[in-house]
Amino acid sequence: MRILLVEDDDLLAQAVARYLTKQNYVVDIAADGEAGWELVNVCNYDLILLDIVLPKLDGISLCRQLRQSGYQMLILLLTAKETKTDKVIGLDAGADDYVVKPFDFQELSARIRALLRRGNTSLPPVLEWGALRLDPSTCEVTYADIALNLTAKEFSLLDLFLRNNQRIFSRSAIVDQLWSAEKDPPEENTIKSHIKSLRQKLKAAGANYDFIETVYGMGYRLKALDHEQSCPKSEPEIDLKQEQILLTAIAQERENFKAKVGSRIAVLKLASDALRKGTLDAQLRQKAEQEAHKLAGSLGSFGFPKGSLLANEIEDLLQNQKSISQAKCFYLDKLLMELQRELEKTLVEQTQNLLLVVSNDQQVVEELIKEAENQELQVKIATNLTAARSIIPSLNPDVVLLDLDLEKDSLKLITELSQRTPQIPILIFTERNSFSDRLEVARAGGRAFLQRSIPPSQILESVSRILQQTRITEARVMVVDDDPQTLTVIQQSLEPLGLTLKTLEDPRYFWDTLTEFSPDLLILDVEMPHISGIELCQIVRNDPYWKSLPVMFLVDNLKADIVEQIFALGADYCLSKTAKKSQLITRILNFVKRR
């Protein structure tokens, strides 16, 4: 399936394209309406994802132009404003459906699948040709119930032949269907190589080598069936393995977005400063409006829902006021500060340990959640074993607290998690207190047997001890700070935990120390003589070998502009030097664990 994404927000467009590519779609990107129109005229698309607010030619106009020119491909509008008028205008212009920004990546994918099914009713959801079966939803292919391990291009080739089982495809037609327009087309031998590999894998599963036959002088097609008949089957849901792959892809795109969003916030701050001074020109104002619009449409998709609302308010303020009063200037500053805090808050939450509580005891759960806030611990709830099993692969909790009295086969979950790789430690709480119950839990792999009657604080103390035991304590941490007192505090905090520590007061010896010590985590001060911590961070991120090294800043003052600059350079976290010692240890151990 080939998709055209017309979207001027480059960060969002690239993220969506990579996410859909992992589902074996071929995705082209156009940054404005005119570029989209040009691509439609040279490539055949099954579906167009079309933003409404676009430069040069807006999405509604492009949609109308496509329909008036006779194009019948499916069109899914991406609109940043959930108003009835916008939806009606879009659908009247010829769109088939719409999704409101910010959207959830998985929901967008589901809407695309539903739309493609609706638009291709003659095609079965699960594609079959004799003993061959291809499931587009799970990306699984079997021949006579034997699974075929195909590459993405081999899967796309087979999908193309199955959806057009009477058609002969030349090599150039295959390139047009399966390769993105922005990439250089592959050589002829590349197509031959993919066909050959696909034939060999089919043959290994029991098919004839010419299952995909060569029509000399013309191309390739599926070999006609003799007596076997293909039977459409209902489409199953995406399986857990495929779901985990997609969730991992979403998490990676969120990390990419976090690393680059600082530059957009910087434009808004420049506009706000210029507005306060009375020097805001039309060009900067327009740029700020565009960045606010993009943030409003994308922040929620990357896990910052409140950030989207704040960006939307900023966009409205810049857009609807020809001359902004002094009071509005202060309000704009307030919105920007809230937006900055929201991003920082979410970044903090993403470094916290995650506890999954499996219980339907509302009172106990509420007390645990309240107590967890004091210990910087995230808590997620599953009210039954089925829900727990379904969300554990995506949540990947650091520890599980299970109510042993929840269901009869609760012990099975303990066994499953203790045998998992990597193992997830599981603690149980219960009203039972017999020796046989304790023995069963121990044999199943439980890490603690807690009485339901003990206070929530004691339960979470047990959780903390388990987390401490499972941390990676052989890691290497390098700290660069010209303040000897700070170095002493860090040294006294970390060395008892078993971490190998290297401290450096003079940043001029940074590179030699870094390459010799080879740390798993780098901690930097911001302001130092000779070379600043920000410059050191930039040096690390510019190096191909060290660019992925986690970098944490310790700062004297958490000013918004300093924090913004730090994250824009690619730092992973920053913490005030006045923070509690426990906070420092927790943050460092969290980074070490993930490293």
pLDDT at position 151: 85
pLDDT at position 239: 47
pLDDT at 509 over 90: yes
pLDDT at 258 over 70: no
Residue 232 lies in a domain: no
> Long-range contact list for 219-222, CB < 8 A, 24+ apart?
219/168, 219/169, 219/170, 219/171, 219/173, 219/174, 220/161, 220/168, 220/169, 220/174, 220/195, 221/161, 221/165, 221/166, 221/167, 221/168, 221/169, 222/129, 222/161, 222/162, 222/165
- Type of residue numbered 281: D
pLDDT at 243 over 60: no
pLDDT at position 181: 59
Residue 254 lies in a domain: no
pLDDT at 60 over 60: yes
Is residue 358 located within the same domain as residue 328?
no
Is residue 136 located within the same domain as residue 217?
yes
Give the chain's domain count.
5
Is residue 110 located within the same domain as residue 133?
no
Is residue 466 located within the same domain as residue 492?
no
The distance in angstroms from the start CA to the end CA of the chain is 37
Residue 304 lies in a domain: yes
pLDDT at position 404: 92
Residue (of 82, 81, 140, 78) closest to 115 by Cα position = 78
pLDDT at position 235: 39
Mapped onto helix, strand or coil, the DSSP state of residue 324 is: coil
Q: Please compute the mean of the pLDDT values over residues 275-301 and round it to a whole number.
A: 83
pLDDT at position 157: 86
Q: Which of 119, 149, 181 is the last residue of a domain?
A: 119
List, edge to edge, every strand of the sheet that includes 476-480.
500-504, 476-480, 521-525, 551-555, 573-576
Give the domain CATH number at 32. Answer: 3.40.50.2300
Q: How far is CA 436 from the centre of its chain?
A: 44
Q: Please compute the mean of the pLDDT values over residues 389-409 and round it to a whole number.
A: 87
pLDDT at 433 over 60: yes
Residue 559 lies in a domain: yes
pTM for the model: 0.48
Is residue 294 located within the same domain as residue 185?
no
Q: Which of 322, 347, 372 is the last residue of a domain?
A: 347
Is residue 358 located within the same domain as residue 464?
yes
Peptide bond into 102 cis (omega under 30): yes
pLDDT at position 123: 46
Could you read off the pLDDT of 521-570 as tens digits, one per residue? 899 998 899 999 999 999 998 888 888 888 989 888 767 677 777 877 78
- Type of residue numbered 500: T
Provide the pLDDT confidence category of residue 318 given band limits of 50, 70 and 90. Answer: confident
Provide the pLDDT confidence category of residue 432 given band limits of 50, 70 and 90. Answer: very high
List, edge to edge, every strand of the sheet that includes 399-403.
377-382, 353-358, 399-403, 426-430, 448-451
Residue 397 lies in a domain: yes
Provide the pLDDT confidence category of residue 234 given band limits of 50, 70 and 90. Answer: very low
Q: Please compute the mean of the pLDDT values over residues 185-199 and round it to a whole number.
A: 81
Could you read off the pLDDT of 286-297 as tens digits, one per residue? 888 888 888 888
Provide the pLDDT confidence category of residue 233 given band limits of 50, 70 and 90. Answer: very low
Look at 176 and 572; give whichever has higher pLDDT.
572
Is residue 112 located within the same domain as residue 138?
no
pLDDT at 480 over 90: yes
Residue 392 lies in a domain: yes
Residue 239 lies in a domain: no
Is residue 62 located within the same domain as residue 150?
no
Is residue 12 located within the same domain as residue 108?
yes
Give the domain CATH number at 290. Answer: 1.20.120
| Domain hosting residue 149, numbered range | 127-222
Looking at mean pLDDT, say which of 87-91, 301-305, 400-404 comes out highest. 400-404
What is the enclosing helix (H) or strand (E) of 479? strand 476-480
Is residue 458 located within the same domain as residue 544?
no
Q: Which of 202, 222, 242 is the last residue of a domain?
A: 222
pLDDT at position 240: 46
The CA-atom distances, in angstroms, between 549 and each of 157, 217, 520, 537, 576 are 38, 54, 7, 10, 21
